[in-house]
Amino acid sequence: MISETVIETLQSFVPEENIHLQEPMAGRTTFRIGGPADCLIEIENEEQLKQITRYLNLVEERYFILGNGSNLLVSDRGYAGTILQVGRKMSRILVEGTRIRAQAGALLSQVSKTALEHSLTGLEFASGIPGTVGGGVVMNAGAYGGELSQVVTQVNVVSPEGESLEFDRETMEFGYRTSALRKHSFTVTEVLFDLKEGEKGRIQAGMEECSRLRREKQPLEYPSAGSVFKRPEGYYAGKLIMDAGMRGYQTGGARVSDKHCGFIVNVGKATAQDVLDVISEIRERVKMRFGVDLETEIIYLE
């Protein structure tokens, strides 16, 4: 449990309305699951982030960086520590010629929309990914043949010691749904996207096609965290799960989606434990039937 002294100090760094004590994480994740975080702070700028991370490190208080919570499963007990949310309060988007500079809390859908408005091509694939720029870069989010690594040219971060650092495409070591930032506790503050001039009608058509595919294939009508598992080499996780006979498999309120077996959906009052139980059953059955180890893509926070 976070102490009064720590809370008082945090209150000196950010306006009081940005600090939420005992904040239910179910309200901050797309899964709509998760107990309370001791403290959640909505970050507004890089300076606040530096002061807070430096301080929390100094007093050895744990913290976690939250974007839009769209790739996250939070424990039913919640999080004993501080959540720093880099979200809508830090979401400025600037267009500089064929480049877009976006703060980490901007939604990928907003950045893609800005690209469309300026007839810039390269981000069509990202228009329906419900995450922030920061979360997207850390996870190297991708869809329909595109990945952020193809268009990101610079990533500004803050280190736990409160230093500003800059990564480029090489030092980001992008891989499938991963980057160098997953190994370090850096917080992304700003990202520069390098796009190309395109034709507005074609860009729009590209985005509409991606949305159509999403609506058709994904259970967007239920809360979820997207694909639960990474794609195993040579297979599709959803197909393996379906072939293992697990379509519609349900524990409590967590269900293997009937529409896309790679998704676990919250069909009503699912607990994190329900989801973990479904994950563990899937992994066991897929391993038994096909000898494939499924690795989770979603992040479990406890």
Which residues are identified as catalytic?
177, 227, 297
Rg (alpha carbons) of the chain, rounded to whole number: 20
Strand order in the sheet with 93-96: 93-96, 99-103, 187-194, 152-158, 164-168
Position among 34, 35, 36, 67 found at the interface with ligand FAD (CB under 6 A): 67
Nearest-CA neighbor of 181 among 215, 205, 162, 158? 158
Position among 48, 70, 114, 266 found at the interface with ligand FAD (CB under 6 A): 70
Binding to ligand FAD (CB under 6 A): which residues in 127-156? Answer: 129-132, 134-136, 138-139, 141-143
Could you give the string, one character per residue 232-271, with x where binding to ligand FAD holds by CB under 6 A and - elsewhere? ----------------------------------------
Nearer to ligand FAD, 26 or 139 (CB): 139
Q: What letter would DSSP give residue 146?
A: E
Q: What letter would DSSP give residue 182?
A: G
Could you give the string, one character per residue 45-64, with x where binding to ligand FAD holds by CB under 6 A and - elsewhere? -------------------x
Could you give the string, one character per residue 89-108, with x where binding to ligand FAD holds by CB under 6 A and - elsewhere? ---------------x----
Smallest separation (angstroms) from ligand FAD to the CB of 135: 2
Nearest-CA neighbor of 61 among 84, 78, 77? 84
Nearest-CA neighbor of 279 among 47, 182, 299? 299
Angle of helix 4-11 relative to helix 46-58, nearest 10 degrees, comes to 160
Binding site for ligand FAD (CB under 6 A): 30, 64-72, 86, 104, 129-132, 134-136, 138-139, 141-143, 181, 187-188, 218, 220, 224-226, 299
